[in-house]
Amino acid sequence: MTGAELAARLRAGDLSAAPEVLNLVENRAPAMRAEIEALLAGVSPAALGGEAPGHVIGITGPPGAGKSTLLSALVAAWRAAGRTVAVLAVDPSSKRSGGALLGDRARIAHDPQDRGVFIRSTAAGTRLGGLAPSTPAAAGALAAAFDVVVIETVGVGQSETEVAEVADTVAVIVQPGSGDALQFLKSGIMEVPDVLVVTKADLGQVALRARRDLSAALRSLGARDTPVVAVSSLAPASGIDELVAALDAHRAGLDVAARRVAARRAGALADFAAEHGEAGLRAVGGRRSAQRLLAQQDPAADIPTLVRVLDQAARS
């Protein structure tokens, strides 16, 4: 099936197109570039008459913080509310095969017969930022058909804040008693979240202390409006509805068009840098010059179109 045909299925709300869409955008063969471009053009703001309606949510945090367990509870809550969900779980890469090392279906609980849920693991590869090379394109495409598109990243750290450039809303997950609040202040991660989530609220005072520490850290950065939500994924789960409400509230107050324009431009720059390296960036006058060039382009331009602009500038 061609990229244009897949785009048409997404525009029609055909969720069954998701596996083929992911297969296409993950195909790095040069011969498939035109089909990927046709797909993304077919779900661009120009084709949709505006930004894709799906809410793109980034879920990130240190390994072992409980991201996958929390995501299982969130998927159940969204489905109970009748919302369709796509999950792109970015896993560490296997050094032997290059594929995703962990398995999304083993980590995220869901009903495999539920056609309103799509979950796919992708390998992070060698690209910094915590995302797989195909993630921005995949998230943008699926947002045309799914109500919620979740990007679950591998780990978190100074180089793994790229999810903030792709998602509409970013939730950073923290486990209590881990010292993560202080570590986040040191690494700059506290500038990333739109919502902070303390897991394992069933631990009681330890979790409450972590919530207070994070709230204090946010106040010290002037981010008083960033909610800190304590959740427990153990039955009976608690805080999940509050978290869903916090994520929805952020989206409701967001200039989605402006955020998506910034995301497409950041994605184009990341793709260009991944393909051409520092030599390519120097050819366009450096990263800041590339950013200024992208800022002059049509706000509705898709990622492949923006990459071509940078390619042309590098050759001129």
pLDDT digits (tens, 9 = 90+) for 257-310: 999 999 899 889 988 998 899 999 999 999 999 999 999 999 999 888 999 999
pLDDT at 258: 94
The larger pLDDT score, comparing residue 122 to residue 16, is at 16
Residue 41, pLDDT above cutoff 90? yes
pLDDT at 79: 96
Sheet holding 55-60, edge to edge: 117-123, 85-91, 148-152, 55-60, 169-174, 195-198, 228-230
Buried b (16+ CB within 10 A) or exposed e, 72-96: bbbbbbbbeeebbbbbbbbbebeee
Separation CA 52–CA 141 (nearest Å): 8
CB contact at 8 A, 308 and 269: no
Q: What is the pLDDT confidence band of residue 62, given thresholds at 50, 70 and 90?
A: confident
- Least confidently predicted of 27-31, 77-81, 113-117, 127-131: 127-131
Q: Global pTM?
A: 0.88
Separation CA 187–CA 207 (nearest Å): 22
Mean pLDDT across the stretch 102-114?
63
CB contact at 8 A, 39 and 24: yes
Looking from the CA of 176 toward its CB, the CA atoms found within 13 Å total: 20
**% the chain with pLDDT above 70:** 83
Q: What is the pLDDT confidence band of residue 93, given thresholds at 50, 70 and 90?
A: very low
Residue 99, pLDDT above cutoff 50? no
The pair of three-digit structure tokens given for residue 252, joined into one six-digit string: 């409701």
The four Cα atoms 34, 36, 42, 43 give a dihedral, to 10 degrees, of -160
Mean pLDDT across the stretch 141-158?
84
Average pLDDT, whole number, for the chain? 84
Amino acid at 20: E
